[in-house]
Amino acid sequence: MEIDWESLGFSYMDTNCHVRYTCRDAIWDDGIQCDEPFLNIHIAATALHYGQSAFEGLKAFSCKDGSVRVFRAEENARRLMSTAERIMMTPVPETLFLDAIERTIRANLDFVPPYGTGGSLYIRPMLFGSGPQIGVHPSTEYTFIVFVIPVGDYYKGGLTPVSAMVMDEYDRAAPNGVGHVKVAGNYSPGLRPSMAAKDEGFPIVLYLDAAEHRYVDEFGTSNFIAITNDGKYVTPASSSILPSVTNKTLMALAEAEGLTVERRQIAFDEVGDFSEAAACGTAVVITPVNRFVRAGDVIEVGPREGSGPVFERLYKKVRGIQVGELPDDYGWTRIVQ
């Protein structure tokens, strides 16, 4: 199969295989390698009826030294365990998770974009209730799957800034709900507002807190981050926000640079006072956001073109560590091949 590595988007592509594990009565099997991208699932599976379903997203990279490395897989393993516990699924042990990731990558090395192309191997672990259960009750069987696809950037243009629509008509997640874990059901309610925003030319949606619509929560699929005029790195503190591995990475790098990092409530009224604002996540690392539109009012932040200097610097550090151009002083990467 010929792949145009330079023109990769962010869409599904068949690869060699995926790996699949089954848990019955709280015991995980040794897993199998599956060549076909299809499932035979019971019609009464709890994933289909009661939303016992979760996923993660992480990446592997071809590196400067010829190795293939996966980035911060342990963090994704722990977050999946947290999600599983919240919706009463049997958690995937961290060792099994990491073995599954490496097993899947090695079986699909032909699909890892070459070093220098800007692409990466996106890894999608999934955990869901696959056993039959008609009463509202946790399943007695769970399936854990890892598949991979080669991808480019989610938003084309690298550090090219985008405009965000501030969403007042919909909420992403409620306080004390499941916004802080990566359940599959968090994403379907966001499809309608996301499509409505895209129809008006906005590639990204910003949600405010569900209780008062006064404070920044997060973007549809990414954490909100900003730089204040006095050089502080700020990101919202909210029980409804998914703890982003990328945000955690950026905060560590910002602190290493000597920046003050604050996780706190951020009033939407503050946004116009920031020198830089961005969305951060696995798919993009950082996407600068230089324009927020709310009910016709426009707030502009940062440079009109490109990223501000702080986020550009942090972006380059993350990418440099991921592809082996900078030393990994934090032990964030695992060599797979």
Residue 79 CB burial class (10 angstroms; 0-12, 13-18, ≥19): buried
Question: Could you tell me the sign of the dihedral formed by the alpha carbons of 299, 215, 276, 318, in that order?
Answer: negative
232 carries an active-site annotation: no
CB 272 within 8 A of CB 301: yes
Name the residue among 266, 170, 175, 260 with its Cα closest to residue 223.
266
| Helix residue ranges, H only, the chain | 46-50, 73-86, 94-107, 191-199, 245-256, 309-322
Name the residue among 312, 335, 309, 307 with its Cα closest to residue 322.
335
Q: Which of 59, 64, 156, 182 is catalytic?
A: 182
Q: Cβ–Cβ contacts within 10 Å for residue 256, how many?
A: 12
Per-residue tokens: 295: 């009910």
CB 314 within 8 A of CB 253: yes
End-to-end CA distance of the chain: 21
CB 51 within 8 A of CB 87: yes
For residue 150, the cross-strand partners are: 121
Detail the DSSP E strand segments found in 238-295.
261-264, 276-281, 285-294
For residue 248, the cross-strand partners are: none
Q: Which residues are catalytic?
A: 182
